[in-house]
Amino acid sequence: MSSSFFLKPGAAKLANKKRKINATKSKGVAKPGKRTQNASAPGPKKQRRSKADDEEIASDDEEYNSDVGGNALAFSADEEEQETAQDKRLRLAKQYLSEIEKQESERAEDRELSKTVEQRLQTEYLDSVGRLRRNIAGGIKSCTIQRVLKHKLHHTPLCALALSTDGKLLFTGAKSQYVLKWCTETGKVLDKCDVLSHREEPETGKKRRSHVIAICLSTDMKFMALAEGGPHIQIWCPQTMKHVKTFKGHRDSVSGLVFRKGTHELYSAAKDRSVKIWSVDELAYVESLFGHQTAVTSIDALSRERAITAGGSDCSLRIWKITEESQLIYNGHKDGIECVKLINDEHFVSGGVDGAISLWSAMKKKPICTTQLAHGLGDNGVANWITAIAVVVNTDLVATGSCDGCVRLWQSSPNARKLQQINSISIGGFINGLTFNADGTKLFVAVGQEHRLGRWWRHKDAKNNIVIVDIKLQSTSSK
């Protein structure tokens, strides 16, 4: 080297710091193998350092870093660049595309959810106004008897039955003092209630036979109403099977009961030619409806404040518009009308003593179509009258029963103006009650040796029991 210089005591640190700064500013890297200046060596006065000295200082700094880290750290300024402009644009583009995909996926899910909600709201609306219609009758593949329910407390003819909304509980009544609560899955009796223990005899003191003619359940399973063979109505809790209240008001035997769907409003029909409305929430009577000329034999209702009744031998059907305080009258059967059921708020089906089944529209005073001798003729040459009807609400499936030894399934088609038989299930005895589960895959049949309202004749070979029919359906469609 051409020259060297002395460093004052205490200035060694400052010199090392300057060397590092100069090494950082330098564009090149010092060549290895050169001898480095000894900072503590004696020499002339302080002089301006040459470029060669700067390079030697950088080499000294490299040697220092090598000693400290164990490896030589050699890099250029180009390698220090973290990301080029092109790489940045590519990264941002990918991030933007990923964000777009995420947003589109969320929008697709929202559209699908919105579509599902819209379809459900539309279905519920159509159901509420009675315009939803599903065609399931044409898709029936087979009908087989799945199970027969028997119990010693129901050794007399079965007269009435009611099914819970979920189809898991069945309540049955007979010409006896007990109502039984069944589990439909196991076929076992879960509980019972003794109607006789809460029945009040009329003022005449004349005792009556125990006879549960009708049973109905509220939609939420909080109340059960029973027609106990007289003018009174008993209210029970179906969960605990405990008595709640006895309604008094009819002057003759109660023949039919129904809760308005989704409410605790109870409608009752009786042989005193009246229809009465009760508020079970308040355990109170509301009002009476008059119009039929003879005993009312059947009653039904859906969600609207309307009820439909069959007037027995006055051969009329009446739709009671309760809020409007008016009624619509329909005539069509040649003899007394035994039962009536609402398919929806626009259509209903009725069965009479003349053995005919009629399909009706609420907008027309005469039947859309009538099937005469639906269950044939008896041994005496007289038509087998229709004793029970069941429908799957808002569908085209109808079931009817008589005393001819079979239950018949029908497909109702109001637009085509026809009622067509599609199946027949052999069950002997009087069919005193019929009810479907919600989707129409099970049919529950109350069978007795005698008719539920009298003892005109008996089928001695018949059994007093409950028959559960399994109905296999294909995929259903709706309109």
> How many other CB atoms are found less than 10 A from the CB of residue 386?
28
| Alpha-carbon gap, residue 409 to 431, rounded angstroms | 14
Contact between 395 and 383 under an 8 Å Cβ cutoff? The reply is no
* Residue range(s) of every CATH 2.130.10.10 domain in the chain: 135-478
> Which residues of the chain, if any, have pLDDT below 50?
1-10, 25-47, 50-80, 476-479
For position 209, what pLDDT does the model report? Answer: 67
Question: Element (H or E) spanning 472, and its range?
Answer: strand 465-473
* Half-sphere exposure in the Cβ direction for 205 (13 Å, CA): 0
- State the pLDDT at residue 207: 58
Q: Which positions ≥6 away from 442 have C-beta within 8 Å?
A: 146, 167, 184, 436, 468, 469, 470, 471
> What are phi and psi for residue 57, nearest 5 degrees?
-65, -45
Considering the four listed CATH numbers 3.90.1300.10, 2.130.10.10, 2.40.50.140, 3.40.640.10, the one that applies to the domain covering 135-478 is 2.130.10.10
pLDDT of residue 20: 57
| Residue 390 dihedral angles phi and psi, to the nearest 5° | -135, 150
Q: According to the model, what pLDDT value does residue 210 have?
A: 72
pLDDT tens sequence across 109-123: 777 777 777 777 776
Quickly count helices (H) and strands (E) in the chain: 3, 30
Q: Could you give the CA distance from residue 345 to residue 161 in angstroms, rounded to a whole number?
A: 23
How far is residue 252's CA from residue 269's CA, in Å, rounded to a whole number?
10
- For residue 398 the two structure tokens come to 């109808």
Q: Which two tokens stand for residue 74?
A: 């050699």
